[in-house]
Structure 1
Amino acid sequence: MTLLLLIAVAVFILFGVPTVRRRFISQPAFRFFKRVLPPMSDTEREAIEAGDVWWDAELFSGRPDWEHLLATKAPSFTEDEQAFIDNQLETLLAMLDDFHIVVHDRDLPDEVWDYLKQEGFFAMIIGKEYGGLDFSAAANSHIVARIATRSISAAVSVMVPNSLGPGELLTHYGTDEQKQRWLPALAKGEELPCFALTSPEAGSDAGGIPDVGVVCKGEFEGEEVLGIRVSWSKRYITLAPVATVLGLAFKLYDPEQLLGEKEDIGITCALIPTNHPGVVIGDRHFPLGQAFQNGTTYGDDVFIPLDWIIGGREYAGKGWRMLVECLSAGRGISLPALATATGHTSERMTGAYAFVRQQFGLSIGHFEGVQGAMGRIGGLNYSLESTRRLTVTALCEGYSPSVITAITKYHMTEMGRVVLNDALDIHAGKGIQMGPLNYLASPYMGVPISITVEGANILTRNLMIFGQGATRCHPYVLKEMAAAANSDEEQGLDQFDGLLLKHIGFALSNTFASLWHGLTGAHFAASPVSGEVVRYYQQLSRMSRAMALCADVAMLSLGGDLKRREMTSARLGDVLSHLYMASAVLKRYEDEGRMHSELPFVRYALDHHLHCIGQAFADLFKNYPKPLIGSALKLLIFPLGIRYAAPKDEDARAIASSMMEPSTMRDRHTFLCYWKDSPTDTTGHMELAFQLMHALKPLYKRLHKAEKEGQLDANLSGEAWVEAAVGLGLLTEHEAEQVKQCELLRQRAIAVDSFAFEDVKQGTFKSKTA
C-alpha cells in the first residue's frame, strides 16, 4: 500500500504540477513531436486545412455520438426542386438515347444541348440573383444520378459545370464585377465553362503543375495594363472542345515584384474566354466508351489582364486552396451520384432479368450461385444509396468535409465496379453485346473514368483518406502540429503542454476501452436504439475506439515514416471508411422507419462493412512495420480473435427473392433508375416483360406443371408452345393472347442486339432486334 501510495504521489507531481510536467514530460515530448513530424509541402498543408470535419471526426473520437447522427434531419427537396425533377428532368430523360449518343454521334444531340442550356441544367449551383437555379446538394445529386441511369455522357456533361469549375469558383471567390459578367451568362447557357487543371506531367499533384504565368505589363484593348503572360498545356479537360470560357490553374511568378515583395506567388486560377488571342482548344479525347466532350487546350505566352484572376488580385497564389475547398464539395456529389446510379440500375434490371431469364424451366434467380451475386448487388446498392444520402446530408448542413468526400469518391466508385461486375456475370451474353437494348455496357465502361478522376483510386485510398483524416479529424493532432509550427517556441510549448494531458487521457481511455470491449465482445457498449441492430451499433463503437488507438500508435511509432508507409495508412483509412459507410446504413434504416422487410439488406451491408474492417485490421497487424507493436495491438484490440464474418447466405437469398418481386421496396431501392413504358426502350423492354410475367404467374405455373406431368411438350417455345396449351385446354383464347404477348416481351428481354454486316461496316448500327 505504501508503494502504491508513493507511485500515486509521484504520478500526481509529475503530471499535476505544471512546472514539473513541463520540464520532464511536455518539453521532451514537444521536441520529440517536432522531430518526428513529417515534412509537409504548402499544397499538402492547404489540402489538410481545407474544408472541415463532420461525422468523420466523431468516428475518430472513439466515442461517436449516435443520437446526434440519428437526430440529423435527412435532406429533402424544395418545391422548385421537386417541380424541376418532375418536369424538366423527366423531359430530358425521355430525350436521351445513349446508344445513339455514344455510337453514332459521339456527342449529345443539338436538341439536348439546347434543352440543357435553356432549362438551367448547367446552372444548378448558381444563385437565383444571377438567374441560376440555386439547388441544394440533395437535388444536384439526385438529378445527376438519375441522368446517369440513362446516359453517363449526359450526366458527366451536366455534373462538371455544377461541381469544380468557373461557376462554383466564381460563386465562392469571384469579385462582384466577375460575378455580374459571367454568372448570368453561365446560368442562361450563353457561356459554357470548363476548368483546366490536369497537365501531362501533373495530375492530382498540383504542386507539380508545369504551367506558368509571369506578372508583367502588356497591352490589352489598346491600353498598357498590369497582367500575366501565361503558358499552359492541359489534357483530360471535360467540356473543353465546346467551352466558351476556360478556367485555368497555373503557377504564378512575379520576378519584377510588381505585386509585392514575393516572387513565387503560388498556384493561381484565372478565367479566360476561349476566343481570346492565343487560346488554343486542341484535339478531343475519346473517353472509354463515352461521348462526353473531353479534350486538350494550349496557350503560349498568352497575355491576360490581372483582373481575370478569379477573385481578383488578392486571390493571386490562393488557387490551390480554392480548388481543394471546391473539390471536396463536388467530390461528394458528382462521383457518388454516378456510382449510385450504377447500383440502382443494376439492382432493378438484374432482378428483372434474373426472373425473366429461365433455365431448365426455372428463373435463373432461383439458382443459389446467381443468388450470391444478386445478394451482393442488393446489399452493396443499399450501402451506396445510404452513403450518398449521408454525404449529401453533410453538404446540405453547410459542411464541406474533405475526408468524407474522399471516402465516398474511392469506396463508392469501387463498389459500383463490383456491382456492375456481378450484374454482367448474371446477364452474361446480353451484357456484352453492344446495342440499344444493352443498359449495362455503357455504365460498365464508364466506371474506370470515375475512378481516375482526381487521380486513380490508388492515390485516394493510400494517401488522402487517412493522410488527411489522421490530422484533420483527430481531436488533438492538428492543434499539436500548429503548436509545433509556432515560430515562438515558448508560446508553442505552452500550447502543446495544454494539449498533451488531454491527448494522453484520450489515448489511455481508448486503450482500456478497446481491451474491455475485446474481452466482453462489446456487449456492454451503449446503443441509441433497441432491437435487431443493437449489436451493430455496439461493434461500430468498439471499432471506433480501436481505430483511434491504432492511429495514435501509428503516428507515435512511425512518425514521419507513416507518410511513406502507404499500405499501412491505407488500411487505417479503410477502417475509417467502412465505419462511415456502416453509419450511413444505420442512419438510413432509422430514417425510413426501421422496416422489418429491409433487414436482409441492412444486415448484408453492415456485415460486409464489419468484415472489411476486420480484414483491414488483420492486414494491418500482420504487416505492421514494427512487428512487436502490430502483435501487441492485435492482442489488445482482439484478444479473442477477429470474428467479423462475411454476409450470410440467408440474407443473400432473401435479397435475391426481393429483387425478383414487384414491390414498393423494389421501387424504393431503385427509384433513380429511369425506364420508359415502351417495349423498344433500353430499360423499358426488360421492365415490361418482368411486370407482365408476374401478372401472369398463375398461367405460367399451370403450363410448367403440365410440362412436368408430360402433358405439354417442354421442347416447344413461343407461339407454338401457347397453341399447344390451347389445344390441350390448358388456356382459354383470352389467356393465350396474354401469354403470347408476354412471350414476345420475354423473348425481347433475353435477346441481344444484332446488326447487318454492311451497317456495321458503314458505322450505322441499325439494330434488327430493337
Structure 2
Amino acid sequence: MTLMFLLIIAVVVIFAVKDIRRQLITRPAFEFMKRVLPPLSQTEREAMEAGNVWWDGELFRGSPDWNQLHSYPANRLTDEEKAFLDGPVETLLAMIDDHAIVDSKDLPEAIWQHLRSEKYFALIIPKQYGGLEFSAYANSTIVSRIATRSISVAVTVMVPNSLGPGELLSHYGTQAQKERWLPALADGTEIPCFALTGPTAGSDAGAIPDEGIVCRQEFEGEQVLGVRLTWDKRYITLAPVATVLGLAFKMRDPDSLLGNEAEIGITCALIPTSHPGVEAGNRHNPLGMAFMNGTTRGQDVFIPLDWIIGGVDYAGKGWPMLVECLSAGRGISLPALATATGHLATRSTSAYCAVRSQFGVNIGEFEGVQEALGRIAGNTYILEAARKLTLTAIDSNQKPSVVTAIAKYHMTELGRSVINDAMDIQAGKGIQLGPNNYLAHAYIASPVSITVEGANILTRNLMIFGQGATRCHPYVLAEMEAVADPDAEAGLNRFDSLLMSHLVFSGRNALVSLGHGLTGARFADKPVAGPTAQYYQQLSRLSANLAIVTDLAMLTLGGDLKRREMISARLGDVLSQLYLGSAVLRNYEMDGRQQSDLPLVEYAMAQCLYEAAQALSETLRNFPNRPVAWLSRILTQPLGNHFHRPSDAQAKAVVKAVSQPGCTRERVSHLCHLQESDAGAVALVERAFLAQHAARAVQKTLKQAQRSGKLPRGLAHDALLAAALEQDLITEAQVELMNTAATLCRQAIDVDEFADL
C-alpha cells in the first residue's frame, strides 16, 4: 500500500512540476516526435491550409456534439432557384433525347443554345457580372435533375460550374479580369474549360511537367514581360468547344526578371483558345458518352503576365487556389451525378419490379430481388442525406476538404453499387440500348465519376485519412508545427502544453471507448428520444474507437503511416461511415422525422455502422504492431464486433416502403422528376406501375376466384377477364382498368429493336 502511494505521488510530481516533466517526459517525447511524425511537404501544407475542418473534426474527437450537427441550417432553394428549376430546367428536360444525343456524340444545337441563353454555365458567377449566383444546393439539384435524363448534358452543365475559369476568376481574378471575362462567361459568349491533367500527372497535380518561362517578348507590337508556355493536357472537358482555356503550369524565372526565385511554382492563367499557338487537339471518347472531352496543347506560346489569374501577385499560388476550389467542387458535382443515379434507379427499378412478372408473380415478390432493391433504396437514402449535409457545409462558406473527399469517394462508389443492382434486376431491359433504355448510359458512365477529380483509389488511400488524421485531429497538426519550429526552445514550450492536453484527450478516449464497448454504448449521450437514439450512441462509440486507434497508429507507425495505405484507407473508411451515418440521422430530423421513412433510416444506419465496425476490425487484424493491435482490440471491441449488415426484415421493410405510391417513394426519388406530358421511358414504366397499383384489387379478386375454383387456372389474360365478367366477378370498368394496366406493362418491359444495325 505504501509503495502504491509513493508511486502515485511520483507520477503526480513528474507531471505536475514543469521542469521535471520537461526533462523526463516532454523532451524525450519531443525528440521522438521529430523522428516518427510524418513530415509535411510544401504541397501537403498548402492543401491543409486551403481547406478547413467542419463536422469531420467532431467525428475525430471521439465525442461528437450532436446538437451542433442538428444546428446546421436546412437546405433550402430560394424563389429564384425554384423558378429556374420549374422553368428553364423543365424546358431542358423536355428537349432531351439521350439516346439521340449519345448516338450523335454531341448535344443538339437547340440544347447548346438553351444552355447559353438561360445561363446554365453561370450558376456560380456573381450577379454583378451577369451570373445567377445560385447556392451549391441549387447547383447540385439542377445537375442531379438533368443527370436523371442525360449524363452527357449534366456533365456539360456541371463542369463550368465546378473547377474552372468562372470559379477561379470569382475568387482570385483581378477586377479587370472579372470585368473582361465573367459577363461573357455568364451569357454564354465564352465557353470555358480548365486544363490541369496531363499524360504523366493525373491525380498528382503537383507533378505537372507543363512549364512557363518568364521572358520578354513582343506582344501586340511592343516588348512586354510575360510567360512562354509549353503544355500537353488530356481529359479536358469542354476543350473541343471552349473559347477560353484555364491552364495550370509550373512557372519558372531563370533570369530573375521578377525577383530572386527561379522556381515560382504552380500558376494558373486564362488564355483565349484563338490565341496563336493554342491547339485544341482532338476529342476523347469517354465510354461513348457525348459530352465534349479532349486534349489541348501548346508549344512556346507567349502570354503577358496579366493573363495570370489574379495577376502577377498570384504567380506560384496556383496549387492552393486549385485545392480550395476543388474541395468545394468535389462536394457538388460528382456527388450530384451519383445521387441522380440513385434516384433514377430507385424510381425505375421499384416500378419495374411491379410490372415485370416471372412464374406468375411480380418479380418484386422474389426475396432475391427484394434484397437488391433494398440495397438500391437504402443506399439512395444515404446518397441524398450525404448530398444535403455536404452542400450545407459549402453553402455555409466552409471548405471542408476531408468531407468533400469522403463525399466524392463514397458517393460515387455507392452510385456504382446502386446502378449495378438496378441492372441486375432489370436484366435484359437494362442491357438493350435504345430510346426505351433509361439505365445503360448511367451504368456506362459510372466509371467516369470514379476516375475524375482524383481516382477513387487515391482518394480513399491517401486523402481521406491522410489529411483527416492530421487536419482534423485536435492536437497533431499543432504538435507537428511545434516540433518543426526553428526555435527549438519555443517549440518545446508549445509542445509541452500540447502534449499534456493530448495525453488527457487520449486517456479520456481510451476509457470512453472501453466503457462503450463493455456497455454497448447504452450510456452514451443522445440528442433525441425514440427509435433513432441508439444510432447516435453507436456512432459516438465508433468515434471514440477511431480517436484512440488513430492516436495509437500515429504513435507507433509515425511517418510510415503515410505509406501503409491499406491501414490508413480502412481508418478513413471508419471516418467516412461515421460521416455518412451522421448525414442519415440529420436528414431524418430535417425531414421532420417522417415515420414512413424510418425503414430507410434503419437500413441505412445498420449499413453504415456495420461498414465502420468492419473497417475497424480489418485495421486491427492487419495492424503490423501486434501488441498495439491487441490493446486496441481490448479498448474498442472488448466483447467482439457485434455489428451486422441490414437484416432480411429491414430489407423487406424498405422494399415495402418504396414499392407503393406515396410520400416516402417520392422523397427517395424526387430528383427523378417526371412531367405530366413526359413520353420518356422512365415516365412510361412509372405510368405502368401506377396502373398496376390501381388494378391490385381486381387482381386480388381474380386470384381468389381461381383459388376457390370459380375461375379456371392457366387462362390467358383476355379469356380470364371474359370469364370473370360473365360470372359478374368484375365490372366492365374493372376490365378496362386491367386492360390498361396490361397494355402499359407490356410497353414498359419492351426493349428496342433495330433493322439497320
Give the shorter-chain TM-score range: over 0.9
Q: Which residue of 1 aligns with 2:325?
A: 326
Deviation at 1:539, TM superposition (A): 0.9
Q: Which residue of 1 aligns with 2:87?
A: 87
Q: Is the 1:571–1:617 Cα contact (8 Å) retained in structure 2?
A: yes
Q: Which residue of 1 aligns with 2:230?
A: 231
CA distance in 2, matches of 1:374, 1:475: 41
Q: Which residue of 1 aligns with 2:130?
A: 131
Decide whether aligned partners of structure 1 residues 681 and 723 sit closer, same or farther in structure 2, where only a CA change above 3 A counts.
farther
Q: Extract unaligned runs of 5+ from structure 1.
A: 761-770
Q: Which residue of 1 aligns with 2:190?
A: 191
Q: Is the 2:330–2:453 Cα contact (8 Å) retained in structure 1?
A: no
Give 1:194-593 correspondences, 5 Å limit.
194-593=193-592
Q: Which residue of 1 aligns with 2:683?
A: 684
Name the aligned partner's letter for residue 664 of structure 2. Answer: M
Q: Is the 1:575–1:617 Cα contact (8 Å) retained in structure 2?
A: yes
Identity %: 60
Q: Secondary structure at the match of 2:280?
A: strand
Deviation at 1:436, TM superposition (A): 0.9
Give 1:705-744 correspondences, 5 Å limit.
705-709=704-708, 712=711, 715-717=714-716, 719=718, 722-723=721-722, 725-727=724-726, 729-744=728-743
Q: Is the 1:148–1:341 Cα contact (8 Å) retained in structure 2?
A: yes
Name the aligned partner's letter for residue 97 of structure 1. Answer: D
CA distance in 2, matches of 1:369, 1:118: 48
Deviation at 1:679, TM superposition (A): 7.6
Matched, 1:653 2:652: yes
Name the aligned partner's letter for residue 78 of structure 1. Answer: T
Q: Secondary structure at the match of 1:335?
A: helix
- C-alpha distance after superposition, 1:653-699 (max 9, x if no partner): 11111221000111111110022445841211101111111122222
Q: Is the 1:250–1:268 Cα contact (8 Å) retained in structure 2?
A: yes
Deviation at 1:734, TM superposition (A): 3.5
CA distance in 1, matches of 2:9, 2:372: 62
Deviation at 1:548, TM superposition (A): 0.6
Q: Which residue of 1 aligns with 2:694?
A: 695
Q: Is the 1:150–1:674 Cα contact (8 Å) retained in structure 2?
A: no
CA distance in 1, matches of 2:181, 2:349: 45
Deviation at 1:651, TM superposition (A): 1.2
Q: Is the 1:59–1:579 Cα contact (8 Å) retained in structure 2?
A: yes
Q: Secondary structure at the match of 2:681?
A: coil
Q: Secondary structure at the match of 2:414?
A: helix
Q: Which residue of 2 aligns with 1:65?
A: 65
Name the aligned partner's letter for residue 114 of structure 2. Answer: Y
Name the aligned partner's letter for residue 25 of structure 2. Answer: I
Q: Is the 1:679–1:745 Cα contact (8 Å) retained in structure 2?
A: no
Q: Which residue of 2 aligns with 1:156?
A: 155
Q: Is the 1:52–1:399 Cα contact (8 Å) retained in structure 2?
A: yes
CA distance in 2, matches of 1:345, 1:497: 55
Q: Which residue of 2 aligns with 1:26?
A: 26
Q: Is the 1:678–1:685 Cα contact (8 Å) retained in structure 2?
A: no
CA distance in 2, matches of 1:82, 1:702: 45
Q: Which residue of 1 aligns with 2:164?
A: 165
Q: Is the 1:675–1:682 Cα contact (8 Å) retained in structure 2?
A: no
Name the aligned partner's letter for residue 407 of structure 1. Answer: I
Q: Secondary structure at the match of 1:399?
A: coil
CA distance in 2, matches of 1:666, 1:281: 46
Q: Is the 1:611–1:645 Cα contact (8 Å) retained in structure 2?
A: yes
Q: Which residue of 2 aligns with 1:100?
A: 100
Deviation at 1:9, TM superposition (A): 2.6
Q: Which residue of 2 aligns with 1:8?
A: 8
Q: Which moved more, 1:712-721 or 1:652-661?
A: 712-721
Q: Which residue of 1 aligns with 2:42?
A: 42
Q: Which moved more, 1:484-493 or 1:4-13?
A: 4-13
Q: Is the 2:542–2:613 Cα contact (8 Å) retained in structure 1?
A: no
Deviation at 1:729, TM superposition (A): 4.5
Q: Secondary structure at the match of 1:428?
A: helix
Q: Secondary structure at the match of 1:219?
A: strand
Q: Which moved more, 1:494-503 or 1:294-303?
A: 494-503
Q: Secondary structure at the match of 1:675?
A: coil
CA distance in 1, matches of 2:106, 2:555: 53
CA distance in 1, matches of 2:598, 2:537: 17
CA distance in 2, matches of 1:541, 1:218: 62
Decide whether aligned partners of structure 1 residues 397 and 272 sit closer, same or farther in structure 2, where only a CA change above 3 A counts.
same
Q: Which residue of 2 aligns with 1:750?
A: 749
Q: Secondary structure at the match of 2:671?
A: coil
Q: Is the 1:43–1:206 Cα contact (8 Å) retained in structure 2?
A: no
Deviation at 1:20, TM superposition (A): 1.8
Decide whether aligned partners of structure 1 residues 332 and 27 sit closer, same or farther in structure 2, where only a CA change above 3 A counts.
same
Q: Is the 1:674–1:683 Cα contact (8 Å) retained in structure 2?
A: no
Deviation at 1:700, TM superposition (A): 2.2
Name the aligned partner's letter for residue 62 of structure 2. Answer: G
Q: Secondary structure at the match of 1:240?
A: coil
- C-alpha distance after superposition, 1:255-297 (max 9, x if no partner): 0011110001111110000000000001101111311000000
CA distance in 2, matches of 1:703, 1:532: 40
Deviation at 1:377, TM superposition (A): 0.9
CA distance in 2, matches of 1:82, 1:244: 30
Q: Secondary structure at the match of 2:73?
A: coil
Decide whether aligned partners of structure 1 residues 233 and 679 sit closer, same or farther in structure 2, where only a CA change above 3 A counts.
closer
Deviation at 1:421, TM superposition (A): 1.0
Name the aligned partner's letter for residue 419 of structure 2. Answer: L
Q: Is the 1:361–1:704 Cα contact (8 Å) retained in structure 2?
A: no
Name the aligned partner's letter for residue 37 of structure 1. Answer: L
CA distance in 2, matches of 1:40, 1:67: 34
CA distance in 1, matches of 2:108, 2:727: 53
Q: Which residue of 2 aligns with 1:766?
A: none
Q: Secondary structure at the match of 1:683?
A: helix
CA distance in 2, matches of 1:607, 1:90: 37
CA distance in 1, matches of 2:440, 2:461: 29
CA distance in 1, matches of 2:158, 2:82: 18
Q: Is the 1:350–1:423 Cα contact (8 Å) retained in structure 2?
A: yes
The alignment yields a C-alpha RMSD, in angstroms, of 1.5
Q: Which residue of 1 aligns with 2:673?
A: 674
Normalised by the length of structure 1, the TM-score is 0.96
Q: Which residue of 2 aligns with 1:765?
A: none
Name the aligned partner's letter for residue 565 of structure 2. Answer: E
Name the aligned partner's letter for residue 313 of structure 1. Answer: V
CA distance in 2, matches of 1:469, 1:539: 21
Q: Secondary structure at the match of 1:232?
A: strand
Deviation at 1:112, TM superposition (A): 0.6
Deviation at 1:740, TM superposition (A): 2.1
Q: Which moved more, 1:727-736 or 1:653-662?
A: 727-736
Name the aligned partner's letter for residue 322 of structure 1. Answer: M
Q: Secondary structure at the match of 1:290?
A: coil
Decide whether aligned partners of structure 1 residues 714 and 448 sit closer, same or farther in structure 2, where only a CA change above 3 A counts.
farther
Deviation at 1:736, TM superposition (A): 2.6
CA distance in 1, matches of 2:716, 2:233: 58
CA distance in 2, matches of 1:229, 1:534: 62
CA distance in 1, matches of 2:127, 2:717: 57
CA distance in 1, matches of 2:277, 2:714: 71
Decide whether aligned partners of structure 1 residues 277 and 712 sit closer, same or farther in structure 2, where only a CA change above 3 A counts.
farther
Q: Secondary structure at the match of 2:142?
A: helix
Name the aligned partner's letter for residue 119 of structure 1. Answer: E
Q: Is the 1:718–1:744 Cα contact (8 Å) retained in structure 2?
A: no
